[in-house]
């Protein structure tokens, strides 16, 4: 995509409000006049409306910059006029968050900020509109819009940088990143999702300051959220490679580093590191699946061996599952998401090993049971893994998916032990313990394998024939 044909001195957005936002914009303008204060749209709404296309159509959030410290009051008045719940306010920063489904409005009082380089918490003071745009992260996010659609470029750089598709900081990059080192990751994220380039001085400053992207200066939760947005971008591989070139990826997921330069042989066309990045980018834009793609072979360096001159990675999926779990826990992902990613990593070779001619139905049923609610994600991961190499016959994953449907995956997933814990204890006279879960799982596996019909009498007969299942 070439540079946009944008005039540098004057732009007007017409109409100013997207469909569905007309009443909201009118109300904000009216309430600002009633308060005798100036309010302007700032940041992403203005940027994406000028860029146009799908990003503009998908806008749901609007940032409103308010003079005279009146942001909180304006937010309350707009909420009342729109019949919305009271806004969530942050007195210290002079900001308010107003929910107007499907839209969200952030009201911000124009301010100046001064940061201690050792802390993320700024000293905040009232400021002018000009003060406020100078403290922002990138010039393309400093553009303002009046309620009639007139765009203001107070720094004289925003429109030019938007047209040139480059990420530039309003201040010297060092000063901008000193204020908040997370902006280094945001710079790469914006370059990725907008298909822009980092200005060379910006990239050089990130390389120099990369080691500041870590607690306590930047919390893992903030790093996680920015990284997740980048990972879901259409150009995820480009973004990951740029993160690596800037020295940031090793700060986020150091477990990937050992894969650099590790050749795999066989069908593989990349080293382990490059293969992980490409596989992630080839999965659908779903966070669980993309994280699984990125980490699916993370266990290979730890399991590498040469046998007969050829590299092998025996049990890399099991080792990788544990590594993925630890890496995502470090990034403060939820336990539920972390467990699902780890399970996908542990299972990722199974669909690739599928052989339509030799797999019995019970093997397919077992895979369905083990993948649980992430079965479709597992198949998507397998396709991406194969396409990120030179694996032939990717179409066999489609065959496996069709076979799963024919076997009724939902019914397989719903299989439960015919006997519950109370029945097992009453019949055997044993106390509660891990044996109950183990016995119930064995009964379910027997049903999956077709060795047991799902009724209580059959289950008791099966246990009588296999007493080892309830012993120990």
Task: For 287-335, write each residue's pLDDT tens digit.
Answer: 999 999 999 999 999 999 988 888 889 999 999 999 999 999 999 999 9
Residue 121 confidence (pLDDT) = 58
Q: Please give the model's pTM, rounded to 2 decimal places.
A: 0.86
Look at residue 237 and tell me whether its pLDDT is greater than 50: yes
| Alpha-carbon span 165 to 233, nearest angstrom | 17
Share of the chain above pLDDT 70, in %: 95
Q: Is the pLDDT of residue 429 over 90?
A: no
Q: What is the structure's pLDDT at 293? A: 98
Mean pLDDT of 328-355: 97
Say yes or no to pLDDT of 101 above 80: yes
Spatial distance between the Cα atoms of 359 and 442, rounded to a whole number of angstroms: 21
Q: Which residues contact 235 (CB under 8 A, 6 or more apart)?
A: 192, 193, 195, 281
Location of structure tokens 């990349």 = 270
What's the pLDDT score for residue 441?
Answer: 83
- Rounded-to-integer distance, Cα 381 and Cα 383, Å: 5
Provide the CATH topology of domain 1-164. Answer: Beta Polymerase; domain 2 (3.30.460)
- The tally of CA atoms less than 13 A away on the side-chain side of residue 169 is 25
Sheet holding 61-66, edge to edge: 11-12, 150-152, 144-145, 39-42, 61-66, 103-109, 95-100, 88-90
Q: What are the tokens at 403?
A: 């076979």
Place 80 in a pLDDT band, splitting at 50, 70 and 90: very high
Cβ neighbours of 270 (radius 10 Å): 17
The architecture CATH gives domain 165-252: Orthogonal Bundle (1.10)
pLDDT reported for residue 220: 97
* Residue 233: both structure tokens together: 């971008």
Q: Are 321 and 331 in contact (CB under 8 A)?
A: no
Strand partners, 106: 63, 97
Angle at 35 between CA 31 and CA 37, to 5 degrees: 100
Written in H, E and C, the secondary structure of the chain is: CCCCCCCCCCEECCCCCCCCCHHHHHHHHHHHHHCCCCEEEECHHHHHHHHCHHHHHCCCEEEEEECCCCHHHHHHHHHHHHCCCCCEEEHHHCEEEEEECCEEEEEEECEEEEECCCCCCEEEEECCHHHHHHCCCCHHHCCEECCCCEEECCCCCHHHHHHHCEECCCCCHHHHHHHCCHHHHHHHHHHHHHCCEECHHHHHHHHHHHHHCCCCCCCHHHHHHHHHHHHCCCCHHHHHHHHHHCCCHHHHCHHHHHHCCCCCCCCCCCCHHHHHHHHHHHCCCCHHHHHHHHHCCCCHHHHEEEECCEEEECCHHHHHHHHHHHHHHHCCCCHHHHHHHHHHHHHCHHHHCCCCCCCCHHHHHHHHHHHHHHHHHHHHHHHHHHHCCCCCCCHHHHHHHHHHHHCCHHHHHCCCCCCCHHHHHHHHCCCCCHHHHHHHHHHHHHHHCCCCCCCHHHHHHHHHHCHHHHCC
Note the Cα 326 to chain centre separation in Å: 17
State the distance between the two ends of the chain, measured CA to CA, in whole angstroms. Answer: 66
The per-residue pLDDT for 122 is 60
* Residue 434: per-residue pLDDT: 87
Average pLDDT over residues 324-350: 98
Q: What does the alpha-carbon distance between residue 195 and residue 379 come to, in Å, rounded to a whole number? A: 29
Q: Which two tokens stand for residue 263?
A: 């050749």
Q: Out of 200-214, 379-393, 445-459, which region has the weakest mean confidence (pLDDT)?
A: 445-459
Q: What is the mean pLDDT of residues 88-102?
A: 93
> Beta strand pairing status for 166-167 and 11-12?
unpaired
Residue identified by tokens 């380089």 is 117
In whole numbers, what is the pLDDT of the chain averaged over residues? Answer: 91
Q: How far apart are CA 292 and CA 39, in angstroms?
A: 44
User: Of 256, 190, 216, 252, which Cα lies nearest the Cα of 55?
Assistant: 190
> Which carries the bigger pLDDT value, residue 127 or residue 176?
176
Place of tokens 């609007």: 62
Q: Give CA–CA dist 32/54, Å, rounded.
A: 30
Average pLDDT over residues 405-431: 84
* Distance separating alpha carbons of residues 455 and 368, to the nearest angstrom: 21
Please compute Rg for the chain using Cα positions: 28
Whether the per-residue pLDDT at 4 is higher than 50: the answer is no
At 416, phi and psi to the nearest 5? -130, 155
pLDDT category, 7, cuts 50, 70, 90?
Answer: very low
Between 466 and 66, the higher pLDDT residue: 66
Average pLDDT over residues 442-468: 85
Query: Is residue 5's pLDDT more than 70?
Result: no
Q: Where are the domains of the chain?
A: 1-164, 165-252, 284-413, 421-470
- Kindly tell me if the per-residue pLDDT of 379 is higher than 80: yes
| Per-residue confidence (pLDDT) for residue 452, from 0 to 100 | 86
Task: Give the model confidence (pLDDT) of 178-234 as tens digits.
Answer: 989 999 999 999 999 999 999 999 999 999 999 999 999 999 999 999 999 999 999
């Amino acid at each position: 995509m070439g540079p946009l044909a944008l005039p540098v001195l004057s732009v007007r957005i017409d109409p100013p409000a997207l469909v569905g936002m007309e009443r909201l914009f009118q109300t904000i303008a009216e309430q600002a006049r009633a308060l005798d204060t100036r309010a302007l749209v700032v940041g992403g709404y203005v940027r994406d409306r000028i860029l146009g296309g799908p990003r503009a159509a998908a806008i749901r959030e609007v940032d409103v910059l308010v003079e005279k410290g009146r942001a909180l009051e304006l937010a309350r008045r707009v909420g009342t006029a729109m019949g919305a719940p009271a806004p969530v306010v942050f007195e210290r920063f002079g900001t308010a968050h107003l929910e107007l489904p499907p839209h969200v409005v952030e009201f911000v009082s124009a301010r100046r900020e001064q940061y201690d380089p050792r802390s993320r918490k700024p000293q905040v003071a009232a400021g002018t509109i000009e003060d406020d745009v100078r403290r922002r992260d990138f010039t393309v996010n400093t553009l303002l819009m009046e309620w009639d659609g007139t765009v203001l470029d107070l720094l004289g750089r925003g429109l030019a940088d938007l047209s040139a598709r480059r990420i530039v900081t309003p201040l010297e990059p060092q000063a901008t990143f000193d204020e908040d080192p997370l902006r280094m990751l945001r710079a790469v994220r914006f370059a990725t999702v907008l298909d822009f380039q980092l200005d060379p001085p910006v990239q050089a400053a990130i390389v120099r300051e990369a080691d500041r992207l870590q607690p306590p200066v930047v919390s893992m939760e903030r790093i996680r959220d920015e990284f997740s947005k980048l990972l879901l971008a259409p150009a995820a591989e480009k973004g990951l490679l740029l993160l690596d070139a800037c020295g940031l990826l090793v700060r986020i997921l150091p477990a990937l580093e050992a894969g650099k330069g590790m050749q795999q042989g066989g069908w593989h066309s990349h080293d382990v590191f490059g293969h992980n990045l490409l596989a992630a980018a080839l999965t659908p834009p779903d966070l669980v699946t993309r994280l699984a793609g990125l980490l699916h072979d993370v266990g290979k360096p730890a399991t590498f061996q040469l046998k007969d001159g050829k590299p092998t990675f025996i049990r890399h999926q099991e080792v990788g599952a544990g590594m993925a779990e630890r890496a995502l826990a470090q990034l403060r992902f939820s336990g539920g998401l972390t467990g699902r990613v780890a399970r996908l990593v542990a299972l990722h070779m199974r669909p690739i090993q599928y052989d339509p001619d030799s797999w019995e139905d019970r093997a397919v049923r077992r895979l369905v049971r083990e993948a649980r609610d992430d079965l479709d994600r597992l198949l998507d991961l397998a396709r991406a893994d194969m396409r990120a190499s030179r694996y032939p016959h990717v179409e066999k994953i489609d065959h496996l998916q069709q076979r799963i449907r024919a076997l009724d995956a939902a019914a397989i997933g719903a299989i439960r032990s015919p006997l519950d814990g109370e029945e097992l204890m009453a019949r055997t006279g044993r106390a509660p313990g891990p044996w109950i879960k183990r016995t119930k799982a064995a009964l379910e596996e027997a049903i999956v394998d077709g060795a047991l019909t799902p009724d209580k009498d059959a289950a008791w007969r099966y246990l009588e024939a296999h007493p080892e299942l309830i012993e120990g």
